[in-house]
Amino acid sequence: MKVQIALVLCVTLLQKIHGATVAQSTINDVKTQAGKISTGSFNPEIDAENLKHALDASVPDGKAIIETLTSRSSAQRLEVATAYQNLYKKDLKEEFKSKLSADFGSLLVAIITSSPEYYAKELHRAMAGTGTDNECLMEILTTLSNQELEKVRKVYQELYGVTLESAIKDDTSSHFSELLTTLCNGVRDETNVVNRVEAVADAQKLYQAGEKKWGTDESTFISILTKRNPQQLKLIAQEYKSMTGHDLGYTIECEFSGLIKKGLLTVVNVVVDNLYDYLAGRIKESIGGKSKNELTRIVATRSGTDMEPIQSSYSSNYGTDLKQAINDNTSGDYKTCLLALLGQK
């Protein structure tokens, strides 16, 4: 602390001697040398200028774009996008879409978009046009917290003029629609308080609603699986297995069919089993398929938070490193940017 104070006082003295303000970057350098704060020099306008030069080259300089954006935090990228708009009166997202390859452009758009806006747009994309990307809906709605879902609902209505719940109801049907709308409203208990007596009671309700019933009471499964906190659901699953001799997932496989079966199994996979195994599986499917939407979405939204456990799950479950899988199955600037976001320079 004494060293840092002394160095800052030196900077102040230099300011007085020279009658001018010492550059902020100099102060940052001093703090870094003191070993206390290492913020680096960040100027969104300069980053925006660098992106402009890279985009306006005869062949867009993907390397420069990647180096500029992947070295910044999520919040800083948003500042850069705003600076670009202010300086050049152009939307940086549209610049990326129009001047770069589809996958690379989509990845860059994702990392300069706030999470609530990005998820809202992904949900809208999943329901737009003919057909519905049900897996995308389930992935987003099962993996976000109540607070995150609240923000997404707000942005969705601002962007599209309808509530997310009404959009889901218009695009899906029956018990699958009931499951999705309940999830989107973020009603799950997040206290992680567990109660064995209540767990036994819920396990009994699930048994009565499924295996013991002629037909199936879907609403009971939906209510319990969307409202109980993760730790309580794990306990319910344990009690259910003690009661019946098999896993809750096995019962869902046997008692349900179609989209509601897939939806309930997704909730079990995410909340009861292992979120990171689920996301690793989504990446695995995307890497091996034609569409890279899932790979782009998961890396873009989680590279600054919890990609490490996802990478660990990927390695454990599929016997190969995620970075290696990306290197083997993607190409060009898209590959380079993905790897940079995962920490490989």
Query: What is the predicted pLDDT for the residue at 290?
Result: 85
Query: What is the predicted pLDDT for the residue at 12?
Result: 43
Over the stretch 134-146, which tens digit does the pLDDT of each residue have? 999 999 999 999 9
Rounded to 10 degrees, the C-alpha dihedral 185/189/192/195 comes to -150
CA 53 to centroid of chain Cα atoms: 30
Burial 230-245 (b: 16+ CB within 10 A, else e): bebbbbbbbbbeeebe
Asked whether the beta carbons of 209 and 220 are under 8 A apart, the reply is yes
Burial (Cβ within 10 Å: 0-12, 13-18, ≥19) of residue 288: exposed
Token output for 109: 């758009």
Query: What is the predicted pLDDT for the residue at 60?
Result: 98
For the chain, the distance separating the N- and C-terminal CA atoms, rounded to the nearest angstrom, is: 33
Over the stretch 165-207, which tens digit does the pLDDT of each residue have? 999 999 999 999 999 999 999 999 999 999 999 999 999 999 9
Confidence of residue 214 (pLDDT cuts 50, 70, 90): confident
Confidence of residue 344 (pLDDT cuts 50, 70, 90): confident
Over the stretch 11-49, which tens digit does the pLDDT of each residue have? 344 444 333 333 333 333 332 232 222 235 899 999 999
Token output for 113: 């978009």
pTM of the model: 0.86
Query: What is the predicted pLDDT for the residue at 215?
Result: 67
Query: What is the predicted pLDDT for the residue at 211?
Result: 86
Over the stretch 61-119, which tens digit does the pLDDT of each residue have? 999 999 999 999 999 999 999 999 999 999 999 999 999 999 999 999 999 999 999 99
Among the listed residues 285, 267, 250, the one whose alpha carbon sits nearest the alpha carbon of residue 175: 267
Asked whether the beta carbons of 202 and 228 are under 8 A apart, the reply is yes
Please report the domains of the chain, with CATH numbers, ordered by start residue: 2-33 (no CATH), 44-100 (1.10.220.10), 115-184 (1.10.220.10), 196-273 (1.10.220.10), 275-341 (1.10.220.10)
Over the stretch 236-264, which tens digit does the pLDDT of each residue have? 999 999 999 999 999 999 999 999 999 99
Query: What is the predicted pLDDT for the residue at 345?
Result: 62
Q: Measure the CA–CA gap between 88 and 339, rounded to whole angstroms.
A: 29
Q: Which residue has the higher pLDDT, 344 or 342?
A: 342
Query: What is the predicted pLDDT for the residue at 206?
Result: 96
> On the CB side of 117, how many CA atoms lie within 13 Å of its CA?
10
Question: SS3 for 146?
Answer: helix
Q: Measure the CA–CA gap between 221 and 264, rounded to whole angstroms.
A: 8
Q: Measure the CA–CA gap between 82 and 78, rounded to whole angstroms.
A: 6
Q: Please, what is the average pLDDT of the chain?
A: 89
Asked if residue 3 has pLDDT above 60, the reply is no
- Helix (H) / strand (E) element for 182: namely helix 174-184
Query: What is the predicted pLDDT for the residue at 289?
Result: 87
Query: What is the predicted pLDDT for the residue at 40?
Result: 57
